[in-house]
Amino acid sequence: MKLVIAEKPSVAQSLARMIGATKRQDGYLEGNGYLVSWCVGHLVELSAPQRYDERYTKWRLEDLPILPENFLYEVSAGTRKQYQILKGLMERPDVESLVCATDAGREGELIFRLVYNQCRCKKPFERLWISSMEDAAIREGFAKLKPGTAYDALYEAALCRERADWIVGMNATRLFSCLYGQTLAVGRVMTPTLAMVVERDAKIAAFRPEPFWTVQITAGGVTAASPRYAKKTDADNLAALCLEEGKAMIRTVETKEKLEKPPLLYDLTSLQRDANRILGFTAQQTLDYTQSLYEKKLVTYPRTDSRYLTDDMREMLPELITSVAGKYSFAGSELRIEPARPESIFDSGKVTDHHAIIPTKTMAGSDLNGLSAGEKAVLQLVSARLLSAAAEDHRYAEITVRLTSGAEEFIKKGRTILTPGWKAIWQHFYPEKAKDEEAAGPVPAEGSLVNVEAAEVKEGKTSPPKYFTEDTLLSAMETAGAEETPDEAERKGLGTPATRAATIEKLVQRGFIERKGDRKTRRLVATDKGTSLITVMPEQIQSPSMTVEWEQKLLQVEHRELGAEEFMNGIEGMIAGLVSTYKKVKGADALMSRNKVIGTCPHCGAEVLERQKGWFCSKRECRFVLWKDNAYFTKIGKRMTGQIAEKLLRDGRVRLKDCKSQKTGRTYNADLLLSTEDDGRPRFSMEFEDRKGGK
């Protein structure tokens, strides 16, 4: 009997169906010589500091640094039942071996190994490594199981990452919290990401717009612009001179044929960026939707950092493109069944754990009506990218006209499309106004003298840097520290594609940044609390350099180029040095004590202040509080954010989309209403479009 352990119940059910384990039991499935069970995320976690010594229950500077000689683990309280089921299955005498079928990556490996080790299991195990939940991929994966020992280095890298994060998080959080008298959560990836947002906000705040003026003339049917002038009088004089002379000389007419290659396929970060820019989704929403599509066999594995397919996938692609195009009823002449640029799609050398995200063959034959609106939108995005990536180059002619009048040069640029190529496919799915794609029109010959028909002074202002959006912050995280990273490095930036969304959500959840603006143009802005934290952080903690270096070393551990012990010694030395040398920033107490007012208490009318764990009424006797870790919101699959809290206090209601039913798993939209109990505690209720529901 083989015991197969997946990461989630839904994945376990798909695997069980394919291998014939169809008999349902309590916490597992059985049949055809297999037992199939599942973890529920991390069943086993690192113990809290007080497990090592009771004195760590209190946070004291003199107890730092906390550097366990041997790390302790314990079963998560909320998942103890499933852990006991797995332990019992491992101990069954008829179970001869196991199959690790958790997600094929660093974290999936860690989840399985921690449970396996906590149960003190010694039975041999194999590894299922697949990039798709399609039936054919599952069958092939089980036919090509590898010994579990082949992934020992991956597990060591995962352990190093987890333990290093624990050491930095526990010690740095306690250090700064004790020094500044409030809980200041510090994270290896989270804090440098916050620092980038704070720095961008500071540049915007310090920016002072400067006016400038240009002269726009129309001559010989061509409208062209001068360089910028810092003084309006200079622009006025030029315009007057051009009109006075009344002539302009066509100096050059240059036409260059240019092309834009088709876009690469999606990895997770590029998908999250486009989904934010085009659909307004957060990075976490995009990951959740894509993970759901993966589990429904509609797209391939989402947590990938590759944008290529392996060379052995060439034969299957034409059929897949045909199926996807048919599913979306796209039959444009730009569609290419055989990729126009195969080298931009296939490259086994650029595929690490998983290939790029693409639709599956199963998708083409599936009924998509049962999908949520978010799932449909992400699936269309992935499908449109596949069709676009296989298409021809977008070719255009760029026409540059230079003319002189009044002893100044004026320039006009325009472009004429020659071959729409892949952009025609993308425009079919996502129409948007093209930039400067009008033909330049009839242009006088070079050297000709033409009449100046008009001269007008235009005023403009220099623009500040733009606030981060989820799209641009993901891009900044992906490229952070790139100048310090070797060109041959496999992974760059802050975090990994699989963790960046969670990092942004943690920053929002903990009140360090907030989302502002409407859904399509929401910007990420640091709160006073976030700015204060970065103000007191030493450079080594807030700089991306440390995290970028860690990621490179973790990859070296994964490839057996660096020992795990050597990596951990470096982390411990860095933290010990920080604890012994850091000095409290003078004058920071006033800066750190600010609490943001977000609205008025609906019960007593006092101010509601943001604190570490929620938004509290400023009157001590009032019991009104909106917890950040809110049980009601968790139950409907949502998170209480600062934006939601402000709207509830202002309007008494907020519109929530894609809430999740615990009973059916389906999503729905509803208005959440806020009222209070007699003692001030908040009370939530739902109002639906066609009916009204209570708590």
Between CA 512 and CA 529 the distance in angstroms is: 6
Task: Tell me the two tokens of residue 30.
Answer: 């059985």
List the alpha helices (DSSP H) in 181-282.
190-206, 232-245, 268-274
CA dihedral 283, 289, 292, 296 (to 10 degrees): -140
Question: What is the DSSP secondary structure assignment for residue 95, as one 8-state letter?
Answer: -
Degrees, nearest 5: CA angle 51-576-198: 95
Between CA 191 and CA 543 the distance in angstroms is: 8
Confirm if 358 and 300 have CB atoms less than 8 A apart.
Answer: yes
Euclidean distance between the first and the last CA atom of the chain, given in angstroms as a whole number: 47
Confirm if 392 and 333 have CB atoms less than 8 A apart.
Answer: no
Residue 492 dihedral angles phi and psi, to the nearest 5°: -125, 165
Please report where in the chains the tokens 């740095």 appear, as a residue.
172
Of 166, 184, 162, 164, residue with least CA distance to 175 = 184
| Other residues' Cβ atoms within 10 Å of the Cβ of residue 237 | 15
The b-or-e profile of 633-669 (16+ CB within 10 A means b, else e) is: beebebebbbbbbbbbbeeeebebebbeeeeeeebbe
3-state secondary structure of 634: helix
Specify whether 668 is catalytic. Answer: no
Catalytic-labelled residue, pool 229, 301, 308, 396: 301
Residue 233 dihedral angles phi and psi, to the nearest 5°: -60, -35
Of 201, 185, 269, residue with least CA distance to 541 = 185
Between CA 140 and CA 156 the distance in angstroms is: 27
Q: Which residues are catalytic?
A: 301
